[in-house]
Amino acid sequence: MRKNYVTLVYLPDDQENADYLQNCLEDMHVDVHSFEKISGRDNELLKDIKNSSCLIILHISDDFDYRDYIREINRANNRCQVVCCYTGRTVYQSKFSLNEIECVEGYPIEALACDICSIMVGGYRLKITPFNRKKYRNEAIALYNKGHYAWSLCLLLKVFKMHDNDVKERIGDAYAHLMNCDKAINYYSICLPTTSDEDTKGMICNNLGYLYTQTKNLEFAEKYLKLAIEQENPDALYNLGYLYETSWAFDSKTRRTKEGYELYCKVLEKSYTSEASKAKAKEKLKVQADKLLGRKNYAAAMTYYKAIGDGPKVAECLRNIKRIRLLYEERKKRMTQQ
């Protein structure tokens, strides 16, 4: 029975790259069993390969004899993916049908991890029939709920039907978790016109806004986040504030940082916003208020301290404002007397 993990085999000289690749894959919610290649027969590794969903062979530093691994896969009748990552082809590559990724100079490990996930998802070998579709659909959703996004995506793409909105939304969610923004946007865009539930519409619009923010398509990000706010999505108001605060900040002509902080204040005021959004907005406002207080911009700092409910800081700002007002009045009197 094939399991939801991958097996990574690497040469001793490639350990640093292997560790980094493992971390990248685990960040994408892929369970990795890692093994260093030894000169003799590694029974533990061969046992692991029998149930693996994908065998990754990393040989960047030198040649690699992996015939034993292929034989073990064939002997166990395990139809898993085999991905060979190399800088120079080995003498064994021409003898087997493998997925090959050439790691040219400057090729980042993060990109290698994404390419491996794409091969795993696109090449998942499974025959779906009308009799087993429901079973695999439920299994895909269960995997998604456990956080195994790459494996759930393998099954979701196999059981995909145009009328099944729940599957389409999960595919978009899985791609979003794996940071494949373009594909996630495509699936969410397919779902949106056919979704009747208001909460689901708000969630999809919020996710589209977030993904467009990541791809720097700011106009579309703003459009969908505003639509999500209309549906009272609990995170959309914070995300729009974040968009205004950060994404437009590099262009002084279209700077909207102040609007972003005003939206953070609204996040704390509205009852429908989530606790996570409130906590993040509160932290953002506190940092900005402290900066403004350090610059002696007491009026603006007081507004943000009021929003987060920091009474002592509000009192400090009021004292400073009164002190400045008194100094100004005294100076004005002296000038009139002269």
pLDDT of 113 reads 81
Q: How confident is the model at residue 277 (pLDDT cuts 50, 70, 90)?
A: very high
What whole-number distance in Å separates Cα of residue 120 and Cα of residue 80?
Answer: 9
pLDDT of 206 reads 92
Q: How confident is the model at residue 89 (pLDDT cuts 50, 70, 90)?
A: low
Q: How confident is the model at residue 1 (pLDDT cuts 50, 70, 90)?
A: very low
DSSP strand pairing (99-102 vs 81-86): parallel
pLDDT of 333 strictly over 90: no
Contact predicate 9/35, CB 8 Å: yes
Q: Is 101 helix (H, G, I), strand (E, B) or coil?
A: strand
What whole-number distance in Å separates Cα of residue 137 and Cα of residue 170?
Answer: 11
Q: Report the sign of the C-alpha dihedral through residues 107, 109, 114, 118, in that order.
A: positive
Q: What is the mean pLDDT of residues 168-180?
A: 84
Average pLDDT, the chain: 82
Contact predicate 25/85, CB 8 Å: no
The residue written with tokens 């290649």 in the block is 37
Contact predicate 236/221, CB 8 Å: no
Extract the tokens encoding 271.
Answer: 């009852």
Q: How confident is the model at residue 97 (pLDDT cuts 50, 70, 90)?
A: low
CA 279: distance to chain centroid?
20
| Side chain identity at residue 214, one-letter code | Q
Residue 277 half-sphere exposure toward CB, CA atoms < 13 A: 23
List the chain domain ranges: 6-122, 225-338
CA 328: distance to chain centroid?
52
* 100 φ/ψ angles, rounded to the nearest 5 degrees: -115, 135
| Secondary structure element (H or E) that encloses residue 56, with its range | strand 54-59
pLDDT of 96 reads 56
Burial 191-214 (b: 16+ CB within 10 A, else e): bbeebeeeebbbbbbbbbbbbbbe
Q: What is the mean pLDDT of residues 154-176?
A: 83
pLDDT of 196 strictly over 90: no
> What is the CB neighbour count within 10 angstroms for residue 34?
19
Q: What is the mean pLDDT of residues 122-141?
A: 78
pLDDT of 251 reads 56
pLDDT of 61 strictly over 70: no
**Highest mean pLDDT of the ranges 35-44, 86-95, 102-111, 301-310:** 301-310
Extract the tokens encoding 78.
Answer: 């395990």
Q: How confident is the model at residue 257 (pLDDT cuts 50, 70, 90)?
A: confident
The residue written with tokens 């795993």 in the block is 120
The residue written with tokens 């943000």 in the block is 304
Helix axes 298-308, 311-337, angle to 10 degrees: 160
| Side chain identity at residue 222, one-letter code | E
Contact predicate 84/57, CB 8 Å: yes
Residue 56 or 76, more confident? 56
Give how far Cα 126 sits from Cα of 41, 64, 120, 312, Å: 31, 30, 12, 63
Q: How confident is the model at residue 76 (pLDDT cuts 50, 70, 90)?
A: low
Q: What is the mean pLDDT of residues 196-202?
A: 87
The answer as to CATH 2.60.40.10 being correct for domain 6-122 is: no
Q: Is 45 helix (H, G, I), strand (E, B) or coil?
A: helix
pLDDT of 11 strictly over 70: yes
Contact predicate 299/318, CB 8 Å: no
What whole-number distance in Å separates Cα of residue 83 and Cα of residue 95?
Answer: 14
| Secondary structure element (H or E) that encloses residue 182, with its range | helix 181-191
Q: What is the mean pLDDT of residues 117-143?
A: 77
Q: How confident is the model at residue 158 (pLDDT cuts 50, 70, 90)?
A: confident
Residue 284 or 54, more confident? 284
pLDDT above 90 as % of the chain = 20
Q: What is the mean pLDDT of residues 131-143?
A: 86
